C-alpha cells in the first residue's frame, strides 16, 4: 500500500511543476478557421482555405499580435505550389510593425523559397546566415521546419535535418541591395510573422500553404 501511495503522488504533478510542463507543450498560433490574433500589412493577403493559410500576392506580412516570444521553438508545416513559391518566417521582430518592411529590417527572416545561393535558400536567415542544401521534400509535399531560438542563437532544422546554426556575432556578407535586411543585432524576444511574396512579373501565380504554425517554450 505504501508503494501504491507513492506512485499516486508522483504520477500527477501539480502546482508549479504542472504549470512548467504545460508551458513547454506545443501551442497552435493558427486555429485553422480564421486569422484571429493575426494582422496583415502590405500588398496581397493570406487566405484561410480548407483549414490552411494560403499566401496570395505580396510582398506582405502577417504577424501574430498577441505576444512576443523569447527562447522557444517555432514550428511551421508548409508546402509550395511552384518551384518559385516564395515565403518566409519572421522571428525576433523587435516591435509592433507599422508596415511590411519593418520585419525585414528589425527581425530575422527564415527563407522558404529554395534558391541556389546558400544565403537565400530554404532555411537561410535571409542574406545573413547561410543554410545547407538538400533537406527540402519534392514540390507539393509537406515540409516541417523547426526554428529554435535560444538567446542570440538560432538553429534551424528541416524535415529532421539541421541545416543552419546562426550566430549573429558572425560577420554577414556585405549588404548590396536596398531590400536586404539591415545588419545588426535583434532583441532576445520579438514577434513572429509570415511573409506572402508572389512575383507579379511572372504570368504564373504561386502560393505557399501553411497547415501548422506553433510554438513551444524552452
- Cα–Cα dist 26/34, whole Å: 19
- Cα–Cα dist 165/182, whole Å: 20
Query: CA separation (Å) from 108 to 97, 198, 202?
Result: 13, 19, 27
Fold of the domain spanning 27-217:
Jelly Rolls (2.60.120)
Q: What is the mean pLDDT of residues 86-106?
A: 97
Is 90 exceeded by the pLDDT of residue 2?
Answer: no
- Cα–Cα dist 167/108, whole Å: 12
Phi, psi (rounded to 5 degrees) for 56: -145, 120
**For the stretch 101-133, what's the b/e string if a residue is b when 16 or more beta carbons lie within 10 angstroms of its beta carbon?**
ebbbebbbbbbbbbeeeebbbbbbbbbbbbbbe
Rg, C-alpha atoms of the chain: 19
Q: How confident is the model at residue 114 (pLDDT cuts 50, 70, 90)?
A: confident
Q: How confident is the model at residue 21 (pLDDT cuts 50, 70, 90)?
A: low
Q: What pLDDT does residue 84 have?
A: 86
3-state class (DSSP) for residue 51: coil
Amino acid at each position: 500500500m505504501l508503494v501504491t501511495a507513492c506512485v499516486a503522488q508522483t504520477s500527477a504533478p501539480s502546482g508549479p511543476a504542472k504549470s512548467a510542463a504545460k508551458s513547454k507543450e506545443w501551442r497552435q498560433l493558427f486555429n485553422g478557421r480564421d486569422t484571429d490574433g493575426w494582422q496583415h500589412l502590405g500588398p496581397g493577403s493570406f487566405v484561410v482555405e480548407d483549414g490552411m493559410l494560403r499566401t496570395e500576392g505580396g510582398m506582405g506580412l502577417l504577424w501574430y499580435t498577441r505576444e512576443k516570444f523569447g527562447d522557444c521553438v517555432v514550428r511551421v508545416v508548409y508546402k509550395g505550389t511552384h518551384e518559385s513559391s516564395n515565403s518566409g518566417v519572421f522571428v525576433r521582430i523587435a516591435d509592433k510593425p507599422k508596415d511590411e518592411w519593418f520585419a525585414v529590417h528589425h527581425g530575422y527572416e527564415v527563407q522558404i523559397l529554395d534558391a541556389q545561393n546558400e544565403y537565400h535558400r530554404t532555411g537561410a536567415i535571409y542574406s545573413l546566415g547561410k543554410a545547407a542544401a538538400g533537406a527540402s521534400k519534392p514540390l507539393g509535399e509537406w515540409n516541417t521546419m523547426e526554428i529554435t531560438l535560444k538567446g542570440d542563437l538560432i538553429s534551424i532544422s528541416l524535415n529532421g535535418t539541421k541545416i543552419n546554426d546562426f550566430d549573429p556575432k558572425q560577420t554577414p556578407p556585405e549588404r548590396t541591395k536596398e531590400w536586404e535586411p539591415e545588419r545588426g543585432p535583434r532583441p532576445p524576444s520579438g514577434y513572429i510573422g509570415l511573409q506572402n511574396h508572389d512575383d507579379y512579373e511572372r504570368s504564373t501565380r504561386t502560393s505557399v500553404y501553411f497547415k501548422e504554425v506553433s510554438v513551444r517554450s524552452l
